[in-house]
Amino acid sequence: MRRNALYVVLALALVGSFGIAQKTLRYGYPVDPINLDPAQMSHMVAHRFVAFLYPTMLRYGDDLSLVPHVAESYRIIDDNTYEFTLRDDVFFHHGEKLTSAHVKYSIERIQDPNVPSPEAFEVAPITEIQIIDDLTFRLITAEPFAPILHGVTFGMGIHSPVTVEQYGDLRYQGSGTGPFKLVEYRADELVVFERNDAFFGGAPALDRIEFHIIVDDVARATALMAGDLDAATFYTTKGTLPMRGQPGLTVHYVGQPTISHYHLNTRREPFDDARVRLAMSCALDRQAIADIVFFGEAEPTGPIPPSMTTWALPLDEFECYTRDLDRARALLADAGYPNGFSSTMIGNAGNASDIEQLQVMAEQFAEIGIQMEIRQIEWGEMLELWITQKNFDTLLIGSATGRDPDANFYRRFLSTDTRNTVGFNDPHVDELLKLGRTTVGFDARYEIYAELQRIITTESPKIFTVQTPLYDVVWDHVQNWNLHPMGMFY
């Protein structure tokens, strides 16, 4: 609380010292993006910020359909070949015109194991990039790759070798083709963007956007209600309650395709035993989590969020999704833990709803003898423990998965993928994951992902709790606010 209060004071001091431009949006945000390099994004917040700077060939519409963006069109030549035509009016902030060569460079940099890129799986199957001319190119895969359009939409902001050579990487500075330019980044404190008048989509209405990173919900809400911010994002329902019904403030809400998943490190006892993992899943009351933490504005979920109606199975098709404490106790006893056990749960200290979820879950686990200590750690440290070191017993994280179902499964459960942070290893699952990518045709892919959903909820290397809401609270003087269902800053 003291740290976040200090951030507010610093932010307001900055505003007081330099003044607010006529069209400056002061935006309170709960999480630092950590990294703005389009080849090194490791979480959804980074994707959202990077969208300001590095547009992708396609983007997600408000209904999550794919619509033209930097590419004005594309065509499918065959199951292995996609041809794209770029717009002729796209320029980087440093003046260089965007061409097919920049797309080729961006994909190859993301594929480069020396980078390394958490998004490499999105474009890994691309084996050849044929440049037809400055505005036309083809992506070729060795075998059919069903999610390729989502891969070049979500995981591939287009960037230039000029700026990578200049800065070494693009984590804190760079030059894209987006509607805004990055002018300042102070980690855990402030991110400032200024308008790009040459943006191919037309110059933005705003001159400047200041993202004030204020981790604590109360501090962020206080700054907003005091008029020191024009808008703010909240991940927690509770955080928005003081502002509901306040004159001049509007609470925007979307049931984003982001799900909370509880990681069980299968490399460690007792989580290496599927009976223990299923027992923990049986012990949870997901609707109670939705009601207590999110006041009923969240929704219980499986591995695919219910908002992805095309792919998500009904929850009653999953084993033990109706709470069953007797079965949970029997499974624990069968696994050799009749009296339960003790362990730790890690959560992001900057996400109050995650911590509240862990508190409810710990109470529910205690009913079957599992005693959990909750550790709240800072976001940067959590990313290190979760992704880099894989050094945890259990942890809760949220991630957006509202695109092709490959994104829900492949890198999370493929035994050889570095983003399989729970260490899950099942040869049949590996086979299904690869089939899901290479199978063309909805009906056949649907059956593959239906089977994967059933297996993963039974094996429970991750326990899925709820599809979480996303809130933006905005003063009425901010007009034409559009809360995208993925939270993207398009």
Burial of 271 (0-12, 13-18, 19+ CB in 10 A): buried
pLDDT > 90: what percent of the chain?
Answer: 76
CA–CA distance, 184 with 389 (Å, rounded to integer): 30
The model's pTM is 0.80
Average pLDDT over residues 435-462: 96
pLDDT digits (tens, 9 = 90+) for 406-420: 988 998 999 998 889
Which pLDDT does position 103 carry in this prediction? 97
Per-residue pLDDT band at 336 (split at 50, 70, 90): very high
How many Å apart are CA 1 and CA 11, to the nearest integer? Answer: 15
Per-residue confidence (pLDDT) for residue 452, from 0 to 100: 98
pLDDT at 368 over 90: yes
Confidence at residue 5, expressed as pLDDT on a 0 to 100 scale: 40
Q: Give the pLDDT band (50/70/90) at residue 14.
A: very low
Burial of 201-236, coded b for 16+ CB within 10 Å and e otherwise, reads: beebebbbbbbbbbbbbebbbbbbbeebbbbbbbbb
Please give the DSSP secondary-structure letter assigned to residue 428: H
Q: How far is the C-alpha of 112 from the C-alpha of 29, rounded, in Å?
A: 32
* pLDDT on residue 65: 86
Among 12-21, 279-288, 351-360, 478-487, the range scoring the smallest mean pLDDT is: 12-21
Residues 412, 462: contact at Cβ < 8 Å? Answer: yes
Largest CA distance in the chain: 68
Contacts for 416 with CB less than 8 Å, ≥ 6 apart: 430
Query: Tell me, what's the pLDDT at 270?
Result: 98
- What confidence tier does 193 reach under pLDDT thresholds 50, 70, 90? very high
pLDDT over 70 at 4, yes or no: no
